[in-house]
Amino acid sequence: MTDLQEQSTSTGNGDVVISVRGLKKHFPIMKGVFRRQVGAVRAVDGVDFEIYRGETLGLVGESGSGKSTTGRVILQLDDATDGSITYLDEELTTVSTNRMRELRKQMQMIFQDPHACLNPRMTVASIIGEPLVENSTMDKEARRARIDELLTQVGLDPSHANRYPHEFSGGQRQRIGIARAIALNPEFIVCDEPIAALDVSIQAQVVNLLKQLQEDLSLTYLFISHDLSMVRHIADRVAVMYLGHIVELAEVDDLYDNPKHPYTQALNSAVPLPDPIAESTRQRTILEGDIPSPANPPPGCVFSTRCPVAVDRCFTDEPAWRDTGGGHWVACHLA
Amino acid sequence: MIRGEPALEVKDLKTHFNTQDGTVHAVNGVSFTLHEGEFLGVVGESGSGKSVSMASLMRLIPMPPGEIVGGSVMFENQDLLQIDIDELRKVRGGDVGFIFQDPMTSLNPVLTIGNQITESLKLHTELDKKERNSRALELLELVGLPDAAQRLKSYPHELSGGMRQRVMIAMALACTPKVIIADEPTTALDVTIQAQIIEIVRDLRSKLGTALIWITHDLGVVAGLADRVLVMYGGRIVEEAPVRELYATPHHPYTKGLLDSVPRLDQKGEELYSIEGQPPSMYTEPTSCSFAPRCPHAFDRCAQEVPPLRLISPGHKAACFFNVTTGEPYVD
Ligand SMILES: Nc1ncnc2c1ncn2[C@@H]1O[C@H](COP(=O)(O)OP(=O)(O)OP(=O)(O)O)[C@@H](O)[C@H]1O
Ligand SMILES: Nc1ncnc2c1ncn2[C@@H]1O[C@H](COP(=O)(O)OP(=O)(O)OP(=O)(O)O)[C@@H](O)[C@H]1O
Ligand code: SF4
Ligand SMILES: [Mg+2]
Ligand SMILES: [Mg+2]
């Protein structure tokens, strides 16, 4: 393949697994005896991005910025309020329930708390085998072989298949969740804070496993995390979310070495480095104040109330989402 | 940095929990000294005994099931493990302040912020009512709480997580303590809010000269804040060193593994090093190196004896039989 061809295929539609356009998810706020809607939490308030085949798109941002909601709406676990989501060119917001059930096999999710989503009364074999029973015609023997294969793939001992979740450590439970997620050979996985509940020394194990599986099974990931250092390590491109908006999206090194949005810059400088010498000489931008409520976002730029460089129009006009070159997207009047 | 006099001297502290499943050996002989004005970081994985050891200093663990089975904690010429509880109450919140991860557990939900601070001042100081009120305001301003005067009348639930943590710091500082023990005070906060809190703490250090013990699992937070670091594993201190020395030349294989397994924001790393295996069970008294089953350097002695803390260089100790500098076991 020539360079030109390679370029055109890697940005062409054929390589887009997920495409999100103008996506919004508002949760109504009800009040009073008649449960009248008095407002809405604008959890996701108009986001646009693509996820390419085989890549890891990191989605970072602080608590409540709308990361999980974005992931859930993409997988249609929540309905979108507005906008479009396509999976391999198929529109998900209008697809039939039956078709969505089919598509679910190809689109999976890994959660933060491996404890909460593993049924404590089911053995590991039945937890991992459940999607196989529901979605394939495998007989018992074939299923058993597949479960063994999956356990080996995620680094667990197949002879432990008949144990219960509580007999495993946090890191091992996360591996069980991963085995279940890959059981049906999915194309795309939303990893929602998959390592947040794990110890530092165990986080590396799980991240290395996710990377290995991505290579072996050509998986595409949306990797949601508030750990910017880990996202730098695992992602190919990164999107930064703030108050329901994606404010910046770029290739990973570009985003970290050359952040253009004042929020990304502040976020970068707020993450402590495990290096006392670097820390002692670091320039810090300390943001003032707290994140506004998504039920009542500020007019203009969502970041304007905390932005250290805001100018007049930031408080009135919403900055456009634009490519500043080389796929480095940013929504800021000054970038 | 200039090191002050010892503010707190802990010797051979041991804490157990007697549970239905057996005895949890949470703290297995912890000794260290905190100096006046020093910032001491405590790191280690979940369950390694960070919280229990530091809470034991003030006998702040639930007893039963908890039991402090040995050791001494010398503070101002008295052993905090021996003095009677009324004496100890005066120390708590007076000369020694606490900041916890979740401020809601230590703030009284039905008292205004102002009342909580003035109550504590009433208990521990001779100030009159007017002085207490103005001191409360001064404290909230000190920790950078916006609209401090207004906030004195607020209830805890009316504040954001970051604001509550500032109030906790203000309360810990209320009686100008000699020592503050902070247990994961920023872990539940967003990173930009964490940065605000850390900035306040840095700033206070130069103003107040309080000694601080800061428990965290975040090696970045420690790097930017601590003078010295204790690394805990399996209920023991496995390494203790000045912060720069610890990061530059870790001597315990666990410390090294831990440092190698954290990604850095300012670098695109290769594959992360991962410490294989699981943390130790705490149900048996250690008779060997607790890290041996996961250690790349383990040899027969590691499974037979508990390695004592060995002096590596002034102020730097590690509990390991293997000399990482020479790549050989120590002979002694
Ligand atoms: N089912 C729901 N009903 C009402 N509000 C919701 C619901 N789910 C989420 N929200 C709100 O939407 C906003 C975004 O939440 P979301 O969970 O997507 O954030 P997040 O970025 O994943 O945060 P975190 O880092 O804490 O997981 C928050 O204000 C949250 O309270
Ligand atoms: N109330 C209790 N009853 C029984 N065991 C306890 C109790 N509190 C703590 N432990 C045990 O004591 C050991 C040390 O716990 P500790 O809370 O000190 O760990 P830690 O290092 O602070 O961990 P983390 O990083 O998760 O906060 C653990 O094995 C824990 O399960
Ligand atoms: S648009 Fe204005 S307020 Fe928003 S980030 Fe850019 S400079 Fe700051
Ligand atoms: Mg979330
Ligand atoms: Mg703890």
Of B219, B221, B268, the CB nearest to A253: B268
Residues of B in contact with A277 (CB under 8 A): 244
The answer to whether residues B164 and B253 belong to one domain is no
The answer to whether residues B127 and B258 belong to one domain is no
Q: Ligand 1 in contact with A68 (CB < 6 A)?
A: yes
Average of per-residue pLDDT across B299-310: 95
Over its C-alpha atoms, chain A yields an Rg (Å, rounded) of 21
Average of per-residue pLDDT across B89-97: 87
Helix axes B161-173, B191-208, angle to 10 degrees: 20
The answer to whether residues B118 and B255 belong to one domain is no
Q: Of all atoms in ligand 3, which is nearest to the CA of residue A331?
A: 1
Hey, is the C-beta of A279 within 8 angstroms of any chain B C-beta? yes
| CATH number of the domain to which B207 belongs | 3.40.50.300
The answer to whether residues B62 and B203 belong to one domain is yes
From the list B191, B232, B322, B209, the residue with the least C-alpha distance to B50 is B232
Q: Of all atoms in ligand 3, which is nearest to the CA of residue A262?
A: 5
Burial of B250 (0-12, 13-18, 19+ CB in 10 A): buried
Task: Give yes or no for residue A5 having a pLDDT over 70.
Answer: no
Residue B38 lies in a domain: yes
Q: Which ligand is nearest to the CA of A40?
A: 1
Task: Give yes or no for residue A303 having a pLDDT over 50.
Answer: yes
CA B275 to centroid of chain Cα atoms: 23
**Confidence band of B213 (pLDDT split at 50, 70, 90):** very high
CA–centroid distance, residue A69 to ligand 1 (Å): 6
Q: Ligand 1 in contact with A67 (CB < 6 A)?
A: yes
CA–centroid distance, residue B178 to ligand 3 (Å): 43
Give the type of residue at B86. D
- Whether residues A291 and B268 touch (CB distance < 8 A) is answered with no
Residue B311 lies in a domain: no
* Model ipTM over 0.95: no
**Confidence band of A7 (pLDDT split at 50, 70, 90):** very low
Give the range of the structural domain holding residue B256, as residue numbers without chain letter. Answer: 6-95+177-263+273-288
CA A312, CA A330: separation in Å to the nearest integer? 19
- Secondary structure in 3-state letters for B19-52: ECCEEEEEEEEEEEEEECCCEEEEEECCCCCHHH
The answer to whether residues B112 and B259 belong to one domain is no
Burial of A106 (0-12, 13-18, 19+ CB in 10 A): middle
Q: Which of B154, B174, B194 is the last residue of a domain?
A: B174
CA A262, CA A268: separation in Å to the nearest integer? 10
Number of domains in chain B: 2
Q: Give SS3 for B118.
A: helix
The size of the A-B interface in CB pairs under 8 A is: 126
pTM: 0.89
The answer to whether residues B112 and B239 belong to one domain is no
CA A32, CA A184: separation in Å to the nearest integer? 46
The answer to whether residues B169 and B182 belong to one domain is no
The answer to whether residues B17 and B162 belong to one domain is no
Residues of B in contact with A201 (CB under 8 A): 45, 257-258, 261, 274-275
Hey, is the C-beta of A205 within 8 angstroms of any chain B C-beta? yes
**pLDDT per residue over B246-303, tens digit each?**
999 999 999 999 999 888 888 776 778 888 887 888 888 899 999 999 999 999 999 9
The answer to whether residues B215 and B256 belong to one domain is yes
Hey, is the C-beta of A243 within 8 angstroms of any chain B C-beta? no
Q: Give SS3 for A116.
A: coil
